[in-house]
């Protein structure tokens, strides 16, 4: 397992995901609000449909989802969020993509630049590293949700592109434009997924030693702490031996 997905698993072991739930829901609500401004009808708004599917994949309550849509369509002044993507390199030559929704581009750029510089990285130009990734929809179920064959058949029927089953999870991937439908179909068949969202999947990964891995994980953690940052992706790999050293 590589990149940001591995980082999230490490943080889960440390018991930090629950503590970050409120912040995660706030970021999901911001994405829903921005998506709903063009149309509050998810059937006519693919971006909103994807945002809602992502929120449900993170177990965000329906009333919170509805409040975000109402805020966007209530006719009030509201917040004027702008989409920004930052790209750069972290320690060990790790490529990093940071996606943000911000009402102050200068503030967000300063925070992201500071995080990179303090953790041995540097920002690059737009598209300087994104060519090394593919954007995909990712849906994750625990292994006991279904057998590997059942999950494969269900994902195929839902329109997914691939399924990777292990002792711990089933990871289903699909094209970004199919994400909403895939999540909806899989949820009807297997129940609520463990997680679901759009992600940048690296085409190749960089193996890191413990020191570099520790610094990269800290960089990602700092970036995730920003209220403006929606998603972070990175193309690193950590061996089992290094993982054991990090979690001791």
**HEC letters along the chain:** CEHHHHHHHHHHHCCCCHHHHHHHHHHHHHHHHHHHCCCCCCCCCHHHHHHHHHHHHCCCCHHHHHHHHHHHHCCCCCCCCEEEEEEEECHHHCEEEEEEEECCHHHHHHHHHHHHHHCCCEECCCCCCHHHEEEEEEEEEEHHHCCHHHHHHHHHHHCCCEEEECCCEEEEEECHHHHHHHHHHHHHHHCCCCEEEEEEEECCCEECCHHHHHHHHHHHHHHHHCCCEEEEEECEECCHHHHHHHHC
Confidence of residue 12 (pLDDT cuts 50, 70, 90): very low
Confidence of residue 14 (pLDDT cuts 50, 70, 90): very low
Please check the confidence at residue 99 and state whether its pLDDT lies above 50: yes
Number of residues assigned to the chain: 248
The tokens 């800290």 sit on which residue? 218
Query: Which pLDDT belongs to residue 6?
Result: 52
Please check the confidence at residue 16 and state whether its pLDDT lies above 60: no
Which tens digit of pLDDT belongs to each residue from 64-76? 999 999 888 875 5
Which tens digit of pLDDT belongs to each residue from 194-219? 888 889 999 999 998 889 999 999 99
Query: Which pLDDT belongs to residue 5?
Result: 52
Query: Which pLDDT belongs to residue 78?
Result: 58
The tokens 């943000």 sit on which residue? 100
Q: At the fourth CATH level, which superfamily is domain 82-131+203-247?
A: YebC, transcriptional regulation domain (3.30.70.980)
Q: How is residue 37 written in tokens?
A: 């401004």
Query: Which pLDDT belongs to residue 216?
Result: 93
Q: What mean pLDDT comes out for the span 99-114?
A: 95
Which tens digit of pLDDT belongs to each residue from 124-166? 988 999 999 999 999 999 999 999 999 999 999 999 999 999 9
Q: Regarding predicted confidence, which is higher, 153 or 11?
A: 153
Q: Determine the longest span between alpha carbons in the chain, in angstroms.
A: 55
Confidence of residue 57 (pLDDT cuts 50, 70, 90): confident
Query: Which pLDDT belongs to residue 109?
Result: 95
């Amino acid at each position: 397992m590589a990149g940001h997905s591995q980082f999230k698993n490490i943080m889960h072991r440390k018991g930090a995901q629950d503590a970050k739930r409120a912040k995660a829901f706030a970021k999901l609500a911001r994405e829903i609000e921005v998506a709903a401004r063009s149309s509050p009808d998810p059937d006519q708004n693919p971006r909103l449909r994807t945002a809602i599917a992502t929120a449900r994949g993170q177990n965000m309550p329906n009333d919170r989802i509805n409040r975000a849509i109402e805020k966007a369509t209530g006719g009030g002044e509201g917040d004027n969020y702008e989409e920004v993507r930052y790209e750069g390199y972290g320690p060990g030559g790790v490529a990093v993509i940071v996606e943000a929704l911000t009402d102050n581009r200068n503030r967000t750029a300063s925070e992201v630049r500071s995080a990179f510089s303090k953790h041995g990285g540097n920002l690059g130009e737009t598209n300087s590293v994104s060519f090394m990734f593919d954007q995909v929809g990712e849906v994750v179920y625990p292994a006991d949700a279904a057998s590997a064959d059942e999950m494969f058949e269900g994902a195929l029927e839902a329109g997914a592109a691939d399924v990777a089953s292990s002792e711990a999870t089933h990871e289903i991937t699909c094209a970004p434009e199919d994400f909403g439908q895939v999540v909806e179909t899989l949820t009807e068949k297997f129940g609520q997924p463990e997680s679901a969202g759009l992600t940048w999947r690296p085409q190749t990964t960089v193996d890191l030693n413990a020191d570099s891995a520790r610094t990269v994980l800290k960089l990602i953690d700092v970036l995730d702490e920003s209220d403006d940052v929606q998603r972070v992706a990175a193309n690193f790999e950590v061996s089992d031996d290094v993982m054991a050293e990090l979690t001791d």
